[in-house]
């Protein structure tokens, strides 16, 4: 679920400069969820600079056009933690410069990161946000709780934490856009890749269930996410993990969510019980922690933990994972589920399970899209993102073909044939 490189065509490194500190009022002692606590303009990208960047990276303008410059803001806002307390969270907002036009809103949920410090180099998934925003979308990407300038600890693949961080950011950003006098249309899109696929599914569900009148979702496109996290972990209990730290992130998420983070070592064998938990502080990288772990990750768990997990369907860990499955509901809005069969990190059956469950629950607006049969997790992202953009563009433009214009589809298929497996 980690995403280090997203679109090989869309990568470059930019130095960012702080261009102001426009604090939006002073926060109260206990601000309600969704309150904007502050914002800062961190970067302005003129259209000419973006055009030069895209040209240098050989990005075809027909797929990812540069139609406007961007202002990029960091926002700090209030959201609700697992214990129902309100905490600070943060994220970035990419705002097209031409404020005379009404712009659609888009929530982009990012893949797995564990370091609190968020870089602003505009590579990787930030490039995805650039690509959508410079074509007219107002893109917001939450850091999730415990990352960026957020308080407390990240709750990894916790559907409630992910979705509330996204929806509360949406509420705060709407206030920011009013302050900036930026016009918005009535359209709202939700997407994300990998862990962001799980988060975007959870966010879409929350918006439908609790905010359908206030924030109706135009279309949603979760990509390659672990929607059936309980079955995914169960199937992998005896196998090898490309990123074994994910197991520890899930354990940490459980113990943190019940307010007992100090009990996490109770589930672990020595030396991992004392070695790993202190490193889960948001200041050590995935690569560093993984280097200390066996790839058959359940070997780090105590025998009694494994016995309970394997033989008791009501064991605490299995119940927690089941609570954070996000597929068993019926979307009312159009939804596209992108996946790749060769994905070595998030099994594509997650998308099939979600699709089948949603159809059985009565949804008539969900569709599957196989983004490429030869691409692994990172390679799949390149094409899933373009399929998602064509899907969203069809609603923005009122085009009847949800998969994009025929010529764009042809070019994309040619690109898939020419691309190397990865």
Model pTM score:
0.91
Are 217 and 304 within one domain? no
Task: Give the helix, strand, coil percentages of the chain, each rounded to 5.
Answer: 40, 15, 45
Within this chain, do residues 178 and 71 fall inside the same structural domain, yes or no? yes
Residue 182 near residue 200, CB atoms below 8 Å: no
Return d(Cα 8, Cα 92) in angstroms, integer. Answer: 22
From the number of C-beta atoms within 10 Å of its C-beta (0-12, 13-18, 19+), residue 418 rates as exposed
Q: How crowded is residue 344: how many other Cβ atoms within 10 Å of its Cβ? A: 11
- Within a 13 Å sphere around the CA of 38, how many CA atoms are in the beta-carbon half? 14
* Nearest-5° Cα angle at 155, 150 to 159: 115
Flag whether 399 is in a domain: yes
Nearest of 195, 196, 208, 70 to residue 131 by alpha carbon: 70
Q: Which of 307, 323, 339 is the last residue of a domain?
A: 323
| Residue that finishes a domain, picked among 323, 347, 382 | 323
Question: Which CATH number is 410's domain given?
Answer: 3.40.50.1820
Whether residue 218 is found in the same domain as residue 300: no
Whether residue 116 is found in the same domain as residue 250? no
The residue from 300, 323, 346 where one domain ends is 323
Is residue 228 a contact partner of residue 329, using CB atoms and an 8 Å limit? no
Which class for 98: exposed (0-12), middle (13-18), buried (19 or more C-beta within 10 A)?
Answer: middle
Co-location of 266 and 412 in the same domain: no
Give, in order, the Cα–Cα distances in Å from 303 to each of 90, 123, 274, 290: 39, 42, 17, 21
* 179 and 290 inside one domain: no
The Cα 150–Cα 143 span in angstroms is 8
Collapsed DSSP state (helix, strand, coil) of residue 104: strand
Residue 413 has a pLDDT of 65
Is residue 190 in a domain? Answer: yes
DSSP H helices, 193-311, are: 195-210, 229-235, 245-257, 272-275, 286-290, 303-311
If asked whether residues 258 and 365 sit together in one domain, one would say: no
Q: Is residue 23 part of a domain?
A: no
Is residue 178 located within the same domain as residue 67?
Answer: yes
113 and 205 within one domain: yes
Domain count, the chain: 2
- pLDDT for the residue 16: 30
- Boundaries of domain holding 310: 229-323
Angle at the Cα of 335 from the Cα atoms of 67 and 126, rounded to 5 degrees? 40
Render pLDDT for 17-65 as a digit per residue (tens, 0 to 9): 333 333 333 344 689 999 999 999 999 999 999 888 777 766 667 677 8
Q: Which CATH number goes with the domain that contains 260? A: 1.10.260.160
Structural contact between residues 43 and 68, judged by C-beta atoms closer than 8 angstroms: no
Q: Assess if residue 31 is contained within a domain.
A: no
Largest CA distance in the chain: 63
Q: Is residue 50 part of a domain?
A: yes
Would residue 29 count as lying in a domain? no
What tokens were used for 12? 């470059």
Residue 77 confidence (pLDDT): 98
Sign of CA dihedral 285, 287, 288, 294: positive
Q: Is residue 28 part of a domain?
A: no
DSSP designation for 14: -
In a domain, 67, yes or no: yes
- Are residues 367 and 342 located together in one domain of the fold? yes
Same domain, 95 and 214: yes
One domain for residues 77 and 156: yes
pLDDT at 4: 40
Neighbours of 31 (CB within 10 A): 18
Per-residue pLDDT of the chain (422 residues; tens, 9 = 90+): 544 433 333 333 332 333 333 333 334 468 999 999 999 999 999 999 988 877 776 666 767 788 899 999 999 999 999 999 999 999 999 999 976 789 999 999 999 999 999 887 777 899 899 999 999 999 999 999 999 999 999 999 999 999 999 999 999 999 999 999 999 999 999 999 999 999 999 999 999 999 999 999 999 999 999 999 999 999 988 888 888 999 999 999 999 999 999 999 999 999 999 999 999 999 999 999 999 999 888 889 999 999 999 999 999 999 999 999 999 999 999 999 999 999 999 999 999 999 999 999 999 999 999 998 889 999 999 899 999 999 999 999 888 777 777 657 766 666 776 677 77
pLDDT value for 240: 82
3-state secondary structure of 326: coil
What does the pLDDT read at residue 372? 87
């Amino acid at each position: 679920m980690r995403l280090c490189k997203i679109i090989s065509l869309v990568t470059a490194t930019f130095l960012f400069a702080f261009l102001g500190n426009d604090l939006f009022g002073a926060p109260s002692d206990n601000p309600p969820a969704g309150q904007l606590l502050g914002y800062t303009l961190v970067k302005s990208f003129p259209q000419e600079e973006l055009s030069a960047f895209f040209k240098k990276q050989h990005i075809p303008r027909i797929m990812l056009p540069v139609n406007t410059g961007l202002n990029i803001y960091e926002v700090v806002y209030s959201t609700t933690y697992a214990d129902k307390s309100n905490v600070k969270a943060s994220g970035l907002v990419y705002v097209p410069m031409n404020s005379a036009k009404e712009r659609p809103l888009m929530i982009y949920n990012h893949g797995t990161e564990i370091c609190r410090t968020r870089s602003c180099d505009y590579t990787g998934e930030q490039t995805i946000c650039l690509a959508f925003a410079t074509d007219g979308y107002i893109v917001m990407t939450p850091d999730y709780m415990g990352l960026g300038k957020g308080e407390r600890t990240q709750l990894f693949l916790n559907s409630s934490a992910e979705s509330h961080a996204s929806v509360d950011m949406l509420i705060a950003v709407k206030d920011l856009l009013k302050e900036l006098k930026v016009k918005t249309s009535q359209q709202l899109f939700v997407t994300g890749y990998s862990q962001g696929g799980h988060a975007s599914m959870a966010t879409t569900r929350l918006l439908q269930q609790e905010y359908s009148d206030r924030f109706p979702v135009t279309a949603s496109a979760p990509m390659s996410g672990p929607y059936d996290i309980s079955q995914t972990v169960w199937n992998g209990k005896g196998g090898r993990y490309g990123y074994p730290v994910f197991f520890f992130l899930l354990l940490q998420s459980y113990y943190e969510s019940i307010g007992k983070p100090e009990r996490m070592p109770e589930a672990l064998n020595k030396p991992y019980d004392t070695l790993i938990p202190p490193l889960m502080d948001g200041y050590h990288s995935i690569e560093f922690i993984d280097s200390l772990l066996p790839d058959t990750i359940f070997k780090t768990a105590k025998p009694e933990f494994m016995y309970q997990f394997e033989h008791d369907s009501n064991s605490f860990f299995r119940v927690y994972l089941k609570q954070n499955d996000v597929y068993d509901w019926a979307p009312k809005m159009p939804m596209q589920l992108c996946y790749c069969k060769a994905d070595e990190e998030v099994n594509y059956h997650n998308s099939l399970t979600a699709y089948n469950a949603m159809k059985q629950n009565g949804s008539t607006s969900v569709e599957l899209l196989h983004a490429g049969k030869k691409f692994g997790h990172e390679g799949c992202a390149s094409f899933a993102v373009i399929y998602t953009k064509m899907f969203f563009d069809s609603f923005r433009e009122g085009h009847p073909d949800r998969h994009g214009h025929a010529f764009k589809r042809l070019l994309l298929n040619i690109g898939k044939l020419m691309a190397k497996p990865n």
